[in-house]
């Protein structure tokens, strides 16, 4: 658990982070989002003391971070950044094993752990262990970066726009993997991004920042439905918010039970988002879709009325 209490950071005359309070529960994925220069990266870097905060308190599991030695604090947290920061003179294997080696794990255990992580992140040991970072593609390098951050099995993971430099397809794949990883490993993650779609896709808790202050925080749906002010609203996409919300809701939430009527020809998976369902309707010129389960068996149906009107009944 991470807790920031009235934290402020000043650089000379300018105040980069202004009296923010934030609480990230164990196992929660908290996304800080905002325009560049809003203080989100500064906030992240104060948590592992790459930047020292000027005022207020920061606690990790109830303990003030200033009570730890800087290095041991950082070794308890994973850290992944946009430029990956992989050491170009070390192999992938050595890069991933960095923190365990700093923590003086025995050699065999490090190797075992590296092997496990590489398997988990889809980097076959035989192919990648001996490679140098410059031989990797952007997505592979970022996977190695994430593996390195996870190496010592830290409870907390700090990520600063880790997928920012990747192409959209790779980015989406890695976002999926991160969500998947998160649901399995239950890490406490603080994730910084300026990409609102990424933020909505990943966040359990969304924190919108502007000019060093927290504008609003909460579940993504809360923010979409009740933005605190114009800034949050426009950042969340203005008129696009409907689609963004639909992307967060799944078909199963809105489907009707099977009716005696004839089942529609077009079908949609019950795990799909409402946005995908809407797209299928638009594309197929269909007002009704059959909802199917994993075995392709119909479990219900979804009408356009229900899809769009649902909000009114909410």
Partner 1 sequence: MTEAASDVAVRGARRWLTPLLWGGLLLGACLGMQHLEGLFRLVETDSRSVIYARADFLTLLGRHLLVVGVAALAAVVIGVGAAVAVTRRAGRDFLPLVAQLASIGQTFPPVAVLALAVPVLGFGTLPIIVALLLYGLLPIVRNTLAGLQGIDPGVREAARGMGMTSGQLLRQVELPLAAPVILAGIRTSVTINIATAAIGATVGASNLGDPIISGIVNGNTAYVLQGALLIGLLALTVDSVFARLQPAASTG
Least distance to partner 1, CB of residue 38, Å: 19
Site for partner 1 contains 86 (CB under 8 A): yes
* Torsion of Cα atoms, 139 then 237 then 32 then 252, to 10°: -80
Residue 55 CB, nearest approach to partner 1 (Å): 22
Q: CA distances (Å), 92 to each of 24, 86, 121, 170, 171, in order? A: 31, 8, 13, 19, 21
Smaller CB distance to partner 1: residue 82 or 182? 82
By beta-carbon proximity to partner 1, the closer residue of 99 and 196 is 99
Smaller CB separation from partner 1, 146 or 200:
146
Among 24, 46, 92, 158, binds partner 1 (CB under 8 A): 158
When asked if residue 11 is in the footprint of partner 1 (CB under 8 A), the reply is no
**DSSP line for 175-204:** HHHHHHHHHHH--EEEEEES-HHHHHHH-S
Say how far apart CA 99 and CA 304 lie, in whole Å.
Answer: 52
Among 4, 30, 31, 79, binds partner 1 (CB under 8 A): 79
- Does residue 99 touch partner 1 according to CB under 8 A? yes
Give the span between the Cα atoms of 37 and 52, in whole angstroms: 17
Does residue 89 touch partner 1 according to CB under 8 A? yes
Q: What is the largest CA-CA distance in the chain?
A: 71
Nearer to partner 1, 88 or 260 (CB): 88
Q: Which of 72, 107, 135, 137 binds partner 1 (CB under 8 A)?
A: 72
The residue range among 77-85, 135-143, 244-252, 260-268 that interacts with partner 1, by the rule CB under 8 A, is 77-85
CA–CA distance, 142 with 175 (Å, rounded to integer): 11
Q: Which is nearer to partner 1, 82 or 273 (CB)?
A: 82
Phi–psi pair at 92, nearest 5 degrees = -55, -45
Q: What's the Cα-to-Cα distance from 132 to each of 86, 87, 141, 289, rounded to whole Å?
A: 9, 9, 10, 50
Judged by the rule CB under 8 A, the positions of this chain that interact with partner 1 are: 48, 50, 70-76, 79, 81-90, 98-99, 102, 145, 148, 158
């Amino acid at each position: 658990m991470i807790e920031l209490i009235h934290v402020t950071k000043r650089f000379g005359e300018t105040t980069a982070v202004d009296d923010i309070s934030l609480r990230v529960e164990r196992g929660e994925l908290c996304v800080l989002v905002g325009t560049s220069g809003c203080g989100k990266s500064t906030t992240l870097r104060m948590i592992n003391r790459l930047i020292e905060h000027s005022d207020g308190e920061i606690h990790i599991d109830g303990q003030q971070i200033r009570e730890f030695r800087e290095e041991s604090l950082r070794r308890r947290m994973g850290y992944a950044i946009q430029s990956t920061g992989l050491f170009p003179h070390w192999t992938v294997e050595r890069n991933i094993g960095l923190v365990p080696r700093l923590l003086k794990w025995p050699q065999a255990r490090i190797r075992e752990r590296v092997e496990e992580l590489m398997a988990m992140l889809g980097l076959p040991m035989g192919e990648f262990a001996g490679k140098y970072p410059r031989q990797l593609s952007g997505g592979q390098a970022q996977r190695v970066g994430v593996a390195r951050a996870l190496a010592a099995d830290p409870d907390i993971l700090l990520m600063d726009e880790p997928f920012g430099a990747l192409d959209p397809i790779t980015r989406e794949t890695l976002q999926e993997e991160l969500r998947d990883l998160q649901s399995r490993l239950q890490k406490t993650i603080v994730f910084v991004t300026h990409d609102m779609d990424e933020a909505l896709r990943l966040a359990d808790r969304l924190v919108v920042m502007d000019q060093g202050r927290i504008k609003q925080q909460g579940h993504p749906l809360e923010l979409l439905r009740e933005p605190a002010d114009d800034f949050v609203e426009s950042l969340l996409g203005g008129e696009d918010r409907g689609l963004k919300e639909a992307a967060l809701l799944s078909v199963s939430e809105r489907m009707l039970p099977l009716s005696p009527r004839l089942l529609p020809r077009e079908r949609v998976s019950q795990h799909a988002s409402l946005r995908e369902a809407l797209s299928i309707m638009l594309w197929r010129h269909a007002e009704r879709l059959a909802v199917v389960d994993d075995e392709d068996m119909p479990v219900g149906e979804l009408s356009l009325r229900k899809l769009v009107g649902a909000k009114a009944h909410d």
